[in-house]
Amino acid sequence: MTSTLRTYLARLLPQLIALAAILIAISMTFPGFLNLEIQNGRLYGSLIDILNRGAPVVLLAIGMTVVIATKGIDLSVGAVMAICGAVAASFITSGHSLLETILITLAVGVLCGMWNGILVAVLDIQPIIATLVLMVAGRGIAQLVTEGTILTFNDPGLIFIGSGSFAGLPMPVVVWLVFGVLVALLVRQSALGMLIEAIGVNRRASTLSGVLTPVLLIAAYMLSGLCAAIAGIIAAADIRGADANNAGLWLELDAILAVVVGGTSLLGGRFSIAASVLGAIIIQAINTGILLSGFPPEFNLIIKAAIIVFILVLQSPRFRTAFAFFAVPGRAAKTTEQEAK
């Protein structure tokens, strides 16, 4: 057990170090940054704010990790967020109960994911293109649902999901924590995670060795759709309205970035949901740090670009070969031994 824990920590180490470095750098400039205080039975502070603001990207990153592990990509999650936000708002304003609204919204998200999955698994279309269809059409569909307006609502139950708190934590944080743990347990306590990785490494070989590739692929995209639906509900509940044009705009790119920062390769295969969640929080911490430091928020994009290039260089097969050449031979052998265990 301790050895599995140790390998787990070793996997997350780069992300944890990066996050710690960012948080320390910010708190050196802003001494009060790490302070937490409790008011009305709820935690307040910049750290909590990072977890809270990062909720949509964290959720999208969970689904995106699984999709990317199958060597796919889901560009439609931002548009699906908009569709689901619109559906939630229109159902709650037309007098449906909170439970019905949430169930129907989640079902719509899963359905969107299923559409993507069928295009990828059954029609065998490249994932970028298959999900591009919904990305282009999705915002149009969302506007069709809201009839071109920003649908607002005052249902206290739905608003609670966006700005309420549970056990001292803001509701969005609770939602992604619970959901993330559930998904991670599902894929890691069963063989599902390994089968998904097998598809990502070699789809043909896994089909030939008896893996139900189409079913798993469709399920991966459905999970991504479900994540987008939850993120859509949170985003809509946060502003108490559904904005078909701006909800989730470009969040698919942030989610992909989070997965990449988390160290999951875009070429499919081994993945870690915890690392992607950390990746999303790192991105949010940088956002918050830039805002706090008084730098114009415009620098955000340049820093993101720099991070991507840095990670690309680290992940690049050529760089790894060069690095392995300079590494101490004994140590390299030991790490492969550990990985084998």
Q: Which spans of this chain sit near another protein (rule: CB under 8 A)?
A: 73, 119, 123-126, 128-130, 132-141, 143-144, 148, 244, 253, 256-257, 260, 266-267, 296, 298-305, 308-309, 312-313, 315-319
Q: Which is nearer to another protein, 9 or 136 (CB)?
A: 136
The nearest distance, CB 234 to another protein, in angstroms, is 24
The nearest distance, CB 287 to another protein, in angstroms, is 13
Please classify residue 341 by burial: count the beta carbons closer than 10 Å to its beta carbon, then call 0-12 exposed, 13-18 middle and 19+ buried. Answer: exposed
The nearest distance, CB 250 to another protein, in angstroms, is 8
The nearest distance, CB 341 to another protein, in angstroms, is 29
User: Tokens standing for 145?
Assistant: 């649902």
Taking the C-alpha atoms of residue 18 and residue 52, their distance in angstroms, rounded to an integer, is: 19
Q: Which is nearer to another protein, 103 or 128 (CB)?
A: 128
Q: Which is nearer to another protein, 202 or 315 (CB)?
A: 315
Taking the C-alpha atoms of residue 201 and residue 194, their distance in angstroms, rounded to an integer, is: 11
Instruction: Decide if 195 contacts 174 (C-beta within 8 A).
Output: no
Strand pairing partners for 242?
151
The nearest distance, CB 7 to another protein, in angstroms, is 27
**Sign of torsion over alpha carbons 125, 131, 144, 228:** positive
| Alpha-carbon torsion angle 333, 334, 339, 341, nearest 10 | 120
Q: Which is nearer to another protein, 93 or 300 (CB)?
A: 300
56: left (phi over 0), alpha (psi -120 to 50) or beta: alpha
The nearest distance, CB 296 to another protein, in angstroms, is 7
Q: Which is nearer to another protein, 116 or 165 (CB)?
A: 116
Q: Which is nearer to another protein, 166 or 319 (CB)?
A: 319
